[in-house]
Structure 1
Amino acid sequence: MSANDLGLPDKGGPAQPLVIASDLTCHFPVRAGAFGPKKVVRAVDGVSFTIAKGETLGVVGESGCGKSTTARLMIGLIEATGGKIIYDGQELGADLSLRELRRGVQMVFQDSFASLNPRLTIEESIAFGPKVNGVDPAEARRIARDLLDRIGLDPARFAGRYPHELSGGQRQRVNIGRALAMRPRLVILDEAVSALDKSVEAQVLNLLADLRRDFDLTYMFISHDLNVVRYISDRLMVMYLGEVVEIGSAEALYERQAHPYTAALFSAMPSMDPDARTEVPPLAGDPPNPIDPPSGCRFHTRCPFAEEVCAARKPQVVTLGEGHQVACHMHDATSGHGKAAA
């Protein structure tokens, strides 16, 4: 089922990315003393990326790197300090209203219980969005029951139940169904499976793969589990302290990590092989304070390959191959770094 089959616009054309984020910035002001300088938390600081139609972009990084803030910017839950979001060829705020954006972009959160209204039945929760947007109540209920069947919950058994009567995996299926009731083209999944046990997690991941195929969906999948990200993602974006440090195809990044931070993340993955146990921590220390981030490359304070140039200058984004980009002085022949290729 394509976007046109659902009656949705495809204004950018098939070759145009569904989403273009350009130099996205989100700074949160910090309360200071009466005479102290005004400071901000640089949660997202100049992030640029694209999401192609029908692909899954995985987003990874340590806690506090800006993954969830970027997701909330994408759906308009928080206002950007700067930058542009272009959805299907239309710029948010100039050509596209927030209301129109939310018809095409939906989000599934980590806490499946807190995301649902405890006073609404499962059918009412899924039908709520369409009804608010003018769909006839009878048709909204039909949509809800059809989606319940699609997400693997028998409408005859589950339509009249309340959230507290469902398991965590079942509630998350309902949240997915509720998002799909709005006929979105992009679904943002913010740690949507991390609270589930492994067997249920696998079922939900398979469901997401089936729904992506059946509804011609595009996903932005945020997770701390690199194995899960590899399973579901086409491309991978690695964030550190509010910036993108590396982006490329999932398979390319799993085979070769160009940025030292990406390599550290992958080295920390647990292994079932006792001979491949991690004995030395791949990364020491905590991320720096986002209120006062380090100069130059923000990773230089924890990087084993850091040189003077890393603290002095912000690295340029270098293209290593088709779609594989990294922001690191070691891959820039003009940077002056000792390990830079000539």
Structure 2
Amino acid sequence: MLAPAPDRGGPAQPLLEVRGLTKHFRARTKPFAPPKVVRAVDGISFSVAKGETVGVVGESGCGKSTAARLLMHLMPRDAGDILYDGERVGSTLPLRDLRRRMQMVFQDSYASLNPRLTIEDSIAFGPTVHGVRDAAARNLARDLLRRVGLEPNTFAGRYPHEISGGQRQRINIARALALGPSLVILDEAVSALDKSVEAQVLNLLVDLKTELGLTFLFISHDLNVMRFISDRILVMYLGEVVEIGPVESLWAAPRHPYTAALIAAMPTLDPDRRTMTAPIAGDPPSPIDPPSGCRFHTRCVFAEGVCAKVHPVLAEVGPDHQAACLMAIPGSGHSGAAA
């Protein structure tokens, strides 16, 4: 594995800072009609401390994966700043250097691998591009296969279609680690796996994080997985961050109704805790025409008239815990900010 980048700002400086990250898409809903704006990611801000795991959760379409692709510069952002260890990406930190320091594991383990390359070639490709000699890159690939629990003599010469989904995801993790990153973004990296295999991969990630001193940004819709692996959880709804806080604090006392509904909707094996009515009803509104004021007010059982007029902003509700809800934190909004 390539040597990790030096720690520039010390442990107190966040490894990743995101400020006002925005991505809007233009879409035509009718032939010959003027295009409308899809507010996929709408001004989100957060930070990730060195060595922690931040989970990102929300319903499909809330902007989780789009945000991850913006962080990796797989698509251009419309607005906002991204700082990596205090350096502004694209300014003081060139994109080529960011590629070494931040890597991503995608949801589709098969589509992430080149079907024409062997497993060894796939893992060795990145280091080779960054100047590592071929023999050293292949030795590195075999070492990483061992680290993720796969025998090199068995798997190095195979092709992606010859192995299982869980094994492919282990290979994608090895490929992400080949450049020696400090931050790994995992976008639904275990959602397509069987539960037994999912548990193995999660335990592998925990071990690798401890062994290599990694930082994770973990995206998932599975709250049980989030609670197991995360230190803090960031909750997104319709392109915005509605709550972020330590996992146990957020679990014990969620301050946003959307977070509370997500936790209440989790399946349980306890016969005394059956869910008789849906904690949250209806589908999320369209990001093309989001509701005024609080975007969740059309589905919120606690909504008042002010919720349709005033846009809430994140406010402190506890130690390192923020939420954006006018009912939970009166006075935490500003009028005229409805998207």
TM-score by length of 1: 0.94
Does 1:145 pair with 2:151?
Answer: no
2:4 and 2:182 in contact (8 A); partners too: no
Q: Which residue of 2 aligns with 1:18?
A: 15
Q: Which residue of 2 aligns with 1:325?
A: 322
Q: Give the SS at the match of 2:312.
A: coil
1:318 and 1:331 in contact (8 A); partners too: no
1:12 offset after TM fit, Å? 2.4
Q: Which residue of 2 aligns with 1:199?
A: 196
1:256 offset after TM fit, Å? 1.1
Deviates more, 1:196-205 or 1:24-33: 24-33
List aligned pairs for 1:1-342, cutoff 5 A.
Answer: 6-31=3-28, 36-334=33-331
Deviations 1:134-189 (A, max 9, x none): 11001100110110110000111111111111111111000000000011111000
- Determine the C-alpha separation between the residues in 1 that align with 2:120 and 2:92: 34
Deviates more, 1:87-96 or 1:282-291: 87-96
1:316 and 1:332 in contact (8 A); partners too: no
- Determine the C-alpha separation between the residues in 2 that align with 1:123 and 1:329: 53
1:237 and 1:244 in contact (8 A); partners too: yes
1:11 and 1:88 in contact (8 A); partners too: yes
- Determine the C-alpha separation between the residues in 1 that align with 2:4 and 2:183: 15
1:24 and 1:46 in contact (8 A); partners too: yes
Q: Give the SS at the match of 2:166.
A: helix
Deviations 1:252-272 (A, max 9, x none): 111111100001100110000
2:68 and 2:187 in contact (8 A); partners too: yes
- Determine the C-alpha separation between the residues in 1 that align with 2:332 and 2:193: 45
- Determine the C-alpha separation between the residues in 2 that align with 1:149 and 1:316: 46
2:4 and 2:180 in contact (8 A); partners too: no
Moved beyond 6 Å, runs of 4+: 32-35
- Determine the C-alpha separation between the residues in 1 that align with 2:118 and 2:31: 50
Q: Give the SS at the match of 1:330.
A: coil
1:321 offset after TM fit, Å? 1.1
1:212 offset after TM fit, Å? 0.4
- Determine the C-alpha separation between the residues in 2 that align with 1:91 and 1:39: 31
1:37 offset after TM fit, Å? 4.0
- Determine the C-alpha separation between the residues in 2 that align with 1:34 and 1:281: 37
1:54 and 1:218 in contact (8 A); partners too: yes
1:7 offset after TM fit, Å? 4.6
- Cα distance change, pair 331–179 in 1 and its aligned pair in 2 (3 A): same
1:58 and 1:236 in contact (8 A); partners too: yes
Tell me the amino acid that sits aligned with residue 260 of structure 1. Answer: P
Deviations 1:172-215 (A, max 9, x none): 00000000001111100000001111111100000000100111
Q: Give the SS at the match of 2:327.
A: helix
What is the RMSD computed on CA atoms of the aligned residues?
Answer: 1.6
Q: Give the SS at the match of 2:216.
A: strand
Give aligned-pair identity as a percent: 67
- Determine the C-alpha separation between the residues in 2 that align with 1:27 and 1:93: 20
For structure 2, the 5+ residue unaligned runs are 334-339
For structure 1, the 5+ residue unaligned runs are 337-342
Deviations 1:12-62 (A, max 9, x none): 222100000001000011136687444210000010000000100000000
